[in-house]
C-alpha cells in the first residue's frame, strides 16, 4: 500500500503542470470579430473556361468542442457582376508558439455551402495569430537581506486541450537566477 501511495504522489509531481489557463470561446471570438472581414480573389476552373471571382468572409466565429475547433462564417462571392451568398465552414487547430509568444489558430478544410460546393481551402488557408505572453519575461528583483537577486521566468512543456466552450492551456513555469 505504501508503494502505491508513493507511486501516485511521484506520478502527480512528474505529470502535473504548475500553470493552468482557460481561454473561453467568447474571448477567442471577440478577437476574431475584431479582425473584421477578409476578402480575396481567385479563379474557378470550369471545363474549358476560367471564371475570375472575388470573395469575402464576414461574421467569422469558432465553436470549441472536445478535441475539435469548428469555424463558421458568412461567405459572399462576386462573379461577373452577380453576388452570391453562402456559408463557410471548416475545422482547425490552435497551438501556442513559444518563439512568437502567440496562440495560432489555423483553419483547414474550408467548404462553402449555399452557392456551389466550393473548396476554399485549396487556395486560402487562414491563420489568426493572437499575441499573448503567458509569463512576462522581464527580470524579477527579489531583496535578500542586503542584496538583490534577479530571476528570469520561462515556460516549458506547454500543452493545449480543446474542451467544450474553452481551451485549456497547461504549462510549467521555471525560474532561474540571472
Cell match 527580470: residue?
Answer: 139
Residue 32: closest CA among 3, 69, 59, 10: 59
- Strand spans (E) along the chain: 19-24, 38-46, 49-65, 68-79, 82-97, 102-113, 118-119, 127-131, 140-144, 147-163, 166-177
Distance of CA 34 to the CA centre of its chain: 15
The CA angle 122-124-126, to the nearest 5 degrees, is 135
Q: How many angstroms separate the CA atoms of 92 and 170, rounded?
A: 20
Using one digit for the tens of pLDDT, what is the confidence trace for 100-132? 888 999 988 788 887 766 666 666 777 888 888
Helix (H) / strand (E) containing 2: helix 2-15
pTM for this entry: 0.74
Q: Where are the domains of the chain?
A: 15-177
DSSP 121: G
CATH architecture of 15-177: Super Roll (3.15)
Q: Report the pLDDT value the prediction gives residue 2, as an integer from 0 to 100.
A: 57
Which grid cell sits at 121?
481551402
**φ and ψ at residue 72, rounded to 5 degrees:** -135, 145
Q: Report the pLDDT value the prediction gives residue 11, as an integer from 0 to 100.
A: 45
Residue 35: closest CA among 130, 165, 133, 109: 130
Using one digit for the tens of pLDDT, what is the confidence trace for 46-97? 778 888 888 899 999 999 999 999 999 999 988 888 898 999 899 999 988 8
Q: Is residue 159 pLDDT above 70, yes or no?
A: yes
Taking a C-beta distance cutoff of 8 angstroms, is the pair 105, 127 a contact? yes
Amino acid at each position: 500500500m505504501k508503494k502505491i501511495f508513493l507511486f501516485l504522489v511521484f506520478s502527480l509531481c512528474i505529470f502535473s503542470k504548475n500553470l493552468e489557463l482557460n481561454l473561453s470561446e467568447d474571448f477567442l471570438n471577440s478577437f476574431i470579430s475584431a479582425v473584421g472581414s477578409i476578402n480575396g480573389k481567385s479563379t474557378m476552373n470550369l471545363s474549358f473556361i476560367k471564371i475570375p471571382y472575388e470573395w469575402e468572409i464576414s461574421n467569422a466565429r469558432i465553436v470549441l468542442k472536445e478535441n475539435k475547433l469548428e469555424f463558421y462564417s458568412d461567405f459572399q462571392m462576386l462573379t461577373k457582376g452577380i453576388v452570391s451568398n453562402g456559408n463557410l465552414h471548416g475545422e482547425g487547430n490552435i497551438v501556442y508558439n513559444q518563439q512568437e509568444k502567440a496562440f495560432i489558430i489555423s483553419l483547414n478544410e474550408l467548404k462553402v455551402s449555399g452557392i456551389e460546393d466550393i473548396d476554399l481551402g485549396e487556395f486560402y488557408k487562414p491563420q489568426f495569430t493572437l499575441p499573448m505572453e503567458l509569463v512576462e519575461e522581464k527580470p524579477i528583483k527579489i531583496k535578500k537581506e542586503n542584496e538583490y537577486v534577479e530571476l528570469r521566468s520561462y515556460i516549458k512543456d506547454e500543452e493545449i486541450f480543446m474542451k467544450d466552450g474553452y481551451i485549456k492551456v497547461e504549462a510549467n513555469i521555471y525560474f532561474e537566477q540571472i
